[in-house]
Amino acid sequence: TGLAAYGFKKLAGKILLALLDASSAMELRRLPELFCGLEREGPGEGPTLYPVACSPQAWAAAAPFLLIQACLGL
């Protein structure tokens, strides 16, 4: 699906790792529906949170699993 279907499995894997890294800064490691793509303030800092984003959000929670599926070609 998506990038992996077009042969960009490494890029899909990079996105997966970035989402997992971002989730480590979220409460209970739950991915919200969106967060800001601003540069991080320093090492160990998480992404900038969007104040009214819902967390958890079904499509955000499913995204890492779909990326794993795409990277493995399942």
pLDDT tens profile 20-39: 888 888 888 888 888 777 77
State the pLDDT at residue 71: 81
Which residue is associated with the tokens 């499995």?
9
Strand positions, DSSP E, the chain: 35-36, 48-49
Mean residue pLDDT of the chain comes to 82
Whole-structure pTM over 0.85, yes or no?
Answer: no
Which residue is associated with the tokens 């540069």?
39
2 domain-assigned:
yes
At residue 1 the predicted structure's pLDDT band, cuts being 50, 70 and 90, is: low
State the pLDDT at residue 45: 77
Residue 6 structural domain: 1-31+55-74
Give the Cα separation of 61 and 53 in Å (integer). 13
39 domain-assigned:
no
Total tally of structural domains belonging to the chain: 1
42 domain-assigned:
no
State the pLDDT at residue 56: 78
